[in-house]
């Protein structure tokens, strides 16, 4: 098997929880839609600053957990939380939780600082101070494969995704895991019909039980809301049914044993391959959708600690992501040509016979190391930093990080 340069080492940022980041970004968080304009303006023309937030005035445990997981992500060095002043979600509670993680953090309510312009200039000043403190507290350390958690998401899938794009990512995952790294994938709603196959991949009886329960909940959910994760673009690209799309999507999970199921905002407890369950819990089955769009799933993977996410898109997509670089992989040669400024990796070469699957996976892993070393991915270079979050109900048994009193 071609070796993806096993000795690759690059410089990362050691965080107090022991995880290592590949970027040292600042994060502005708005706690209601009413504060989003000010938050975006604070981050404007600040290349190291990304923006996330929650639009609802009424709070949501899942959304708070997800924002805290992102605010304490290894790629984040400091946080500014901005609220309007009326909403349930409290900026100062977010800042406290972030400070407890060993990072500098500030917060304020717009209503306490005048209007739009005074709030923006106040926020800009706080950001400058956070940047200095984040640079001072960042500990630079060597990093290698075993320090990485990589996520995989597919979107805009077509008939090539299951043949080339996803299998190449799956093979790269196998390589990463063999080198001591961690990988996670989600889109459980695209595992329709694959219950036995999923369970056959379980690393332990407990993992098998988790995988079976996750599948059963997902199928009940899809039947109850009468929604399946297959879209007009998938049909136009040659995928006929959700069953067909599912087999192709599952290929991005590679072939290594699945260690277990984590839920949104949880981190993999040990290295290896993990399935992330983003499906709402059964007692709220009537409430909300599972995967409203690709960005939501990508954020779930980043919240689970992924420093980089691989996005496989046969038909092509022009998204990036906040916090962690997105690397875009396509198995469709036409898409790679037409969207060359957006596509990072051409997996169609395994279909044309130009590359073996192993050689393609080795090349992809080297690209991952390049991006981890600081080379911007194509979405990063274009300035993409998409973020999406909506209400969802998913209870995590050990809730340690909630903001609500």
Partner 1 sequence: MTAQPASSAFQVHATDNVATLLGEAAAGAPLAIIGPAQPTQLAARENISLGHKVALVAIPEGAPIVKFGVVIGIATRPIEPGEWVHLHNCRSQLDERSGHFDLHTGEPGDSAYA
CA distance 129 to 202: 47
Picking from 357, 360, 365, 356, the residue whose alpha carbon sits closest to that of residue 346 is 360
Site string for partner 1, 7-46 (x = CB under 8 A): ----------------------------------------
- Least distance CB 185 / partner 1 (angstroms): 17
- Least distance CB 284 / partner 1 (angstroms): 22
Q: Contact between 358 and partner 1 (CB under 8 A)?
A: no
DSSP secondary structure of 332-387:
-HHHHHHTTTT--EEGGGGTTTSS-HHHHHHHHHHHHHHHHTTPPPHHHHTT----
CB atoms within 10 A of CB 359: 17
User: Considering beta carbons, is residue 145 or 221 the nearer one to partner 1?
Assistant: 221
Non-local (6+) Cβ contacts of 67 within 8 A are 29, 52, 53, 54, 94, 389
User: Considering beta carbons, is residue 37 or 228 the nearer one to partner 1?
Assistant: 228
Give φ, ψ of 30 to 5 degrees. Answer: -100, 145
CA distance 13 to 102: 13
DSSP secondary structure of 223-254:
HHHT--S--HHHHHTT--SHHHHHHHHHGGG-
Total binding residues toward partner 1, as defined by CB under 8 A: 38
- Least distance CB 275 / partner 1 (angstroms): 19
- Least distance CB 169 / partner 1 (angstroms): 16
User: Considering beta carbons, is residue 195 or 393 the nearer one to partner 1?
Assistant: 195
Cβ atoms of 59 and 89 within 8 Å: the answer is yes
Q: Contact between 47 and partner 1 (CB under 8 A)?
A: no
Instruction: Pull the structure tokens for residue 194.
Output: 């694959």
Q: Contact between 205 and partner 1 (CB under 8 A)?
A: no
Q: Contact between 352 and partner 1 (CB under 8 A)?
A: yes
* Block residue for tokens 């981190």: 267
Residues 300-329 that bind partner 1 (CB under 8 A): 314
CA distance 298 to 130: 26
In the set 40, 101, 121, 231, which binds partner 1 (CB under 8 A)?
231
SS3 309: strand
- Least distance CB 285 / partner 1 (angstroms): 16
- Least distance CB 192 / partner 1 (angstroms): 6
Site string for partner 1, 62-81 (x = CB under 8 A): --------------------
Tallying the residues shown for the chain, one arrives at 405
Cβ atoms of 212 and 195 within 8 Å: the answer is yes
In the set 248, 272, 305, 325, which binds partner 1 (CB under 8 A)?
248
- Least distance CB 328 / partner 1 (angstroms): 18
Site string for partner 1, 137-176 (x = CB under 8 A): ---------------------xxx-xx-------------
In the set 129, 240, 340, 375, which binds partner 1 (CB under 8 A)?
240
Q: Which stretch binds partner 1 (CB under 8 A): 57-65, 101-109, 235-243, 305-313?
A: 235-243
Non-local (6+) Cβ contacts of 329 within 8 A are 165, 168, 169, 310, 311, 312, 313, 343, 344, 345, 347, 364
- Least distance CB 333 / partner 1 (angstroms): 8
Q: Which stretch binds partner 1 (CB under 8 A): 181-189, 219-227, 265-273, 365-373?
A: 219-227
CA atoms within 13 A on the CB side of 24: 19
- Least distance CB 367 / partner 1 (angstroms): 22
If you count DSSP H runs as helices and E runs as strands, how many of each does the chain have, helices first?
A: 13, 14
Interacting residues toward partner 1 by CB under 8 A:
158-160, 162-163, 192-194, 222-223, 226, 228, 230-244, 247-248, 314, 332, 334, 350-354, 356
């Amino acid at each position: 098997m071609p070796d993806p340069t096993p000795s690759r080492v690059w410089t990362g940022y050691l965080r107090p929880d022991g995880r290592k980041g590949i970027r040292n970004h600042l994060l502005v968080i708005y706690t209601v839609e009413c504060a989003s304009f000010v938050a975006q303006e604070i981050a404007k023309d600040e290349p190291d600053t990304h923006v996330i937030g929650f639009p609802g005035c009424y709070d949501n445990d899942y959304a708070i957990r997800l924002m805290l997981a992102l605010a304490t992500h290894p790629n984040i060095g400091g946080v500014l939380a901005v609220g309007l002043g009326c909403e349930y979600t409290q900026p100062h509670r977010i800042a406290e939780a972030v400070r407890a993680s060993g990072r500098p953090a500030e917060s304020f309510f717009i209503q306490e600082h005048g209007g739009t312009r005074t709030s923006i200039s106040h926020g800009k000043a706080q950001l400058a101070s956070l940047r200095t403190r984040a640079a001072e507290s960042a500990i630079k350390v060597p990093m290698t494969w075993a320090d990485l958690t990589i996520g995989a998401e597919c979107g805009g899938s077509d008939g090539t995704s299951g043949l080339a794009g996803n299998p190449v990512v799956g093979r790269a995952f196998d390589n990463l895991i063999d080198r001591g790294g961690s990988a996670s994938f989600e889109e459980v709603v695209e595992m329709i019909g694959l219950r036995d196959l999923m369970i056959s991949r379980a690393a332990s009886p407990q993992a098998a039980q988790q995988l079976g329960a996750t599948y059963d909940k997902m199928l009940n959910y899809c039947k109850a809301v009468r929604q399946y994760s297959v879209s007009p673009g998938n049909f136009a690209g040659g995928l006929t049914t959700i069953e067909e799309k599912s087999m192709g999507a599952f290929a991005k999970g590679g072939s290594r044993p699945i260690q277990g199921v984590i839920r949104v905002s949880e981190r993999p407890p040990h290295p290896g391959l993990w399935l992330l369950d983003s499906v709402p819990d059964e007692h709220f089955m009537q409430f909300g959708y599972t995967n409203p769009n690709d960005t939501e799933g990508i954020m779930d993977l980043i919240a689970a600690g992924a420093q980089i996410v691989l996005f496989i898109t046969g038909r092509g997509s022009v998204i990036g992501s906040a916090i962690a670089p997105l690397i875009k992989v396509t198995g469709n040669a036409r898409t790679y040509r037409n969207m060359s400024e957006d596509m990072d990796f051409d997996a169609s070469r395994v279909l044309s016979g130009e590359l073996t699957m192993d050689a393609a996976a080795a090349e992809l892993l080297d690209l991952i190391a390049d991006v981890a070393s600081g080379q911007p991915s194509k979405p990063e270079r274009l300035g993409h930093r998409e973020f999406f979050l909506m209400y969802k109900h998913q209870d995590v048994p050990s809730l340690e990080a909630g903001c609500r009193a």
